[in-house]
Amino acid sequence: MVILITGITSGFGKAMAERLSADGHTVYGTHRSAREFLPGVRYIRADVCREEDCKAAVDEVLEKEGRIDVFINNAGMGIGGPLEFCSLEDAQRQMDVNWMGMVRCLHYVLPAMRRQGGGKILCFSSIGGLMGLPFQGLYSASKFAIEGYCEALRLEVQGFGIQVVVIEPGDFATQFTAQRKSVSSEEAHAVYRRYADSLKSIEKDETGGLKPAYLAGKISRIIRKKRPAYHYVIATLEQRLSVTLKAILPPCLFAKILGSYYKL
């Protein structure tokens, strides 16, 4: 299969590119400033915040391979902090990368898949796309947007043989933690006294999380499925349980549990 992945320089993207290439697939991946290159993987310099880059990346794969069998929307970033102290620029940046980056790419991927008679689209959401996480509200909002977009898209394209799958990872040990932009003003910490403790808890969970290779193995199996599920929560047992509890408990009760977990 011909696979295009956005954001393959680290974390999930790098692990998936390595695994899927080893599986024998033809793998293309976008990057902004890669310094290390996986053997056998085709690198395309592109920024998902630039429409012309997204179009050029898709065009390059189609020109060389004639088709895109699997598109994996993985590129993303995180901005943390009390929502009151997150700037409007931060909010726009969060949505521009995580949600609009996906929309820009799919704007050019979808017509190609429709013309070729099918394909698989895997879009990375998060457990944070299923529940609003305190002090990660902008990130959760961007992932909620992915959930809603993909739910609608799935219905619209099912008649063309295009399958839409949403991936919802929990905490993983990647560079995402170090690269997160967090509000650091003294006022934010003074007003939201639990912010610092919650941030430490978040970072501890992430750095002690599952390894990206585990997720890559799951993705390897998902793209081979003839009829993949609509959603895959890839996380620890505790985090998968939290998703179940969110679905069955009254909202006020689940909010108390989540607040307690984040020391609020």
**Catalytic residue numbers, as ranges:** 139
Q: How far apart are CA 59 and CA 67, in angstroms?
A: 10
Q: How far apart are CA 162 and CA 155, in angstroms?
A: 10
Q: How far apart are CA 170 and CA 260, in angstroms?
A: 18
Q: How far apart are CA 44 and CA 145, in angstroms?
A: 26
Longest CA span, the chain: 56
Q: How far apart are CA 54 and CA 7, in angstroms?
A: 12
Q: How far apart are CA 64 and CA 259, in angstroms?
A: 51
Strands (E), the chain: 2-5, 26-31, 42-45, 70-73, 79-80, 119-124, 162-169, 181-182, 231-234
Alpha carbon separation from 92 to 30, 72, 82, 148, 230 (Å, rounded): 22, 23, 16, 18, 28
The residue among 147, 140, 141 whose CA lies nearest residue 164 is 147
